[in-house]
Each structure stands twice: as structure tokens, then as C-alpha cells.
Structure 1
Amino acid sequence: MFFDDERSNRLRPQILTELVGQYLNDAERARLYGLPETTRIRERAKIINPERLRLGEHCWIGEGAVLDASGGLTVGEHTSIGVNTLVFTHSSWLANMMLENHTGSDLIERKPVSIGKGCFIGSLVVIMPGVTIGDFAVVQPNSVVAKDVPERCLVAGNPARVFQRYDEEYIRAEAARVRAENAGD
């Protein structure tokens, strides 16, 4: 019933980890994936090549997110990655065009992705290989990030572009506003 070849034997532990992970809570799932214990990783999130993922403390990974770390993926502390977001660090487009889309193809291109600390990556975002997202950036839902994002800005759209830049004073004022509103509840 099961294949006994190199690829199957390499993939089977990952498949079983994902299956078992569906029955765990966030903290148990983080431990199963070898992530920091402060990580909250929701159901159906998938990590491709978790050994190439560097994740900071206090990160949140939403339901159904796919983190492809095959080309190297770094996520800074206190960063959230939204529901059903896709982070790609590889592309096989050229392997497809050359009819060489097979395991181990030398036409699969891998480029690392870096997401800074204190970032908010909305739901249904697509991040393409080779992108760097600066610290304290916000990526609005349904955006496609195909090029680098500067720190302390809000980007949105397809392709994502900068809509707002903000400084520390703006963030502190917004934090004070939200805390005051929440205290009134």
C-alpha cells in the first residue's frame, strides 16, 4: 500500500506530523513542529521544510496558512501571518515550461523570504520568493507581495504597493486610542 522509495520515506513523517497536528492545541502543535513555545499555530497550517524556518517568539500563524521554507524563511518576533496566507520561497515555472517539473529538477528556483518583527500579514496574502518585508509593516488582506516592502508602512493590492507610512509617534497614539476604547467596554 505504501511506496518504499526515497521520496515517500522523506515525505511520510511530514504527512503524519500534519495529520497528528490537527488534533492538538496551538501550544502542542508548536512543540510538534519544533517552533518556539510562544508560537500560536492554528489548525491546517502547513510548513514545508520546517528545518529551514527561523521563527521569532510570540508569532501567530493562522488557519490554512502555508509557509514554504524550502528556500529559507525568516519571520521576526511578534509577527502574525493571517488565515490562508501563502508564503512561497520557490518557483517551478521554468521547470514546467521546459517539461522538467520533477523531483530534484535543477530548474526549480529557490529564494529566501524575510518577514520582519512586529509585522501584521493579513489573510489571503500571497508573498512571492525573494521578498523582504521590513519591520513593523502591515500587509492588507488579499494582497500579492512581489517585491520588497519597506519598514513601518502599510501595503495593499495586487501587486502590493505602499499606501501609508507611519512613525513611532503614530503607532503610540493608535495604541493609546485602542486601549482607551477597550477600557470603556
Structure 2
Amino acid sequence: MFFDDERSHRLRPQILTELVSQYMNDAERAQFYGLPSTCRVRERVKIISPENLKMGDHCWVGEGAALDASGGLEIGEHTSIGLNTLIFTHSSWLANMTLQNHSGSDLIERKPVKIGKGCFIGGLVVIMAGVTIGDFATVQPNSVVAKDVPPRTLVAGNPARVFQRYDEEYIQSEVDRVRAENARRRALAEERGADASGWGAPSGDFSE
């Protein structure tokens, strides 16, 4: 049933690692992959060549994401990777074009991907090999990132392009807005006798 060759022996530990990790919670899974203790990795995440993945503190990886670190992958602190996002650091395109897509082909190309600190990568995003995403960048869901993304920008689309640039003053105004709204909602929840002890805003209808 199982092959007894070099490739099978090389892949088997990765397969077993992924299987065992499905029975862990998100914090346990992150530490199982050797990531910082403050990181969270959700269910069904696939990490290719985890030894080549460098991840900062307080990162979050959503369900079903596939992180290809075979060509080198660096993710800065406080960055979130959305669910079902795909990050590629290698390509077999030339091997396909020349009918040389066999195991061990010397036409596999690898280029590292670097994602900065404080980034928000939405769900269902595709990031191509060789891309650098600057600090505090936002990638909207369903985008395909084929070129570098400048710091403090919002990009979207296929191919992704810049739609907005923001500075620290804009971010601080948004922080103030959200904290004030969350405080208003918690106060209303307490008046209604609801539990407002959780993090962020309590759920429910708080329109006046």
C-alpha cells in the first residue's frame, strides 16, 4: 500500500505532521510548527517546508490557508493571513511548458515572499512568488498579488492595485472611532443586562 522509496520517506513526516495538527487548538498548532507562542494557526492550514518559514509574534493564520515556504517565506509581527489564502514561493510553469514536470525537475523556480509587520491579508487571496508586501498593508479578499505592495496601502483586485494610502493619523482616527463605538455598545449591553465582558464589541443590534 505504501511506497518504499526516497520521495515517500521524505514526504511521510510532513503528511503525519499535518494529520496530528488537526487534533490541536490554534495555539498548540502554532507551537507544533515551531512558531512563536503568541501566534495562532487555525484548522486545515498547510505549511510546505515549515523550516523555511519565519513568523513574528502575534500572527494569525486562517482556516484552510496554504503557506508555501519552500522558496523562503517571512511574515512580520501582528500580521493576519485570511482563510483559504494561498502564498506561493515556487513555480512549475516552465516545467509544464517544456513537458518536464516530473519529480525532481530542474526547472522549478523558487523566489521568496516577504510580508511586513501589521499587515491584514484578507481571505481567498493569492500571493505569487517573489512578492514583497510592505508594513501595515491591507490586501482585500479575493485579490491576486503579483507585484510588490507599498507600505501603508490598501490593494484589491486581479491583479491587485493600490486603491488607498493611509498614514498614522488616519489609523489613529480609526482607532478612536472604533474604541468609542465599542464603549457605547458595552454600556448599552450592560444597561440591558447582557454580558459585555468579552473582547471587542458585544454582538447584537445597538442602533438607536
TM-score tier, shorter chain, comes to over 0.9
Q: Which residue of 1 aligns with 2:113?
A: 113
Deviation at 1:2, TM superposition (A): 1.4
Q: 3-state SS of the aligned residue for 1:15? A: helix
Task: Give the length in aligned residue pairs.
Answer: 185
Structure 1 unmatched ranges of 5 or more: none
Structure index of larger Rg: 2
Q: Which residue of 1 aligns with 2:73?
A: 73
Q: 3-state SS of the aligned residue for 1:184? A: helix
Pairing of 1:158-173 with structure 2 (within 5 A): 158-173=158-173
Q: Which residue of 2 aligns with 1:183?
A: 183
Matched, 1:82 2:82: yes
Q: 3-state SS of the aligned residue for 2:43? A: coil
Which residue identity lines up with residue 52 of structure 1 in the other structure? N
Structure 2 unmatched ranges of 5 or more: 186-208
CA distance in structure 1 between the aligned counterparts of 2:154 and 2:13, rounded to whole angstroms: 38
Q: Which residue of 2 aligns with 1:11?
A: 11
Pairing of 1:14-25 with structure 2 (within 5 A): 14-25=14-25
CA distance in structure 2 between the aligned counterparts of 1:46 and 1:176, rounded to whole angstroms: 37
Runs of 4+ displaced beyond 3 Å: none
Which residue identity lines up with residue 70 of structure 2 in the other structure? S
Q: Which residue of 2 aligns with 1:137?
A: 137
Q: Which residue of 2 aligns with 1:91?
A: 91
Deviation at 1:27, TM superposition (A): 1.2
Q: 3-state SS of the aligned residue for 2:9? A: helix
Q: 3-state SS of the aligned residue for 2:161? A: strand
TM-score, normalised with respect to structure 2: 0.88
Deviation at 1:48, TM superposition (A): 0.3
CA distance in structure 1 between the aligned counterparts of 2:29 and 2:4, rounded to whole angstroms: 28
Cα RMSD, aligned residues only: 0.6
CA distance in structure 2 between the aligned counterparts of 1:18 and 1:9, rounded to whole angstroms: 15
| Percent of pairs with identical residues | 81
Matched, 1:29 2:21: no
Which residue identity lines up with residue 50 of structure 2 in the other structure? P
Q: 3-state SS of the aligned residue for 1:10? A: helix
Q: Which residue of 2 aligns with 1:60?
A: 60
Which residue identity lines up with residue 53 of structure 2 in the other structure? L
Deviation at 1:6, TM superposition (A): 1.1
TM-score, normalised with respect to structure 1: 0.99
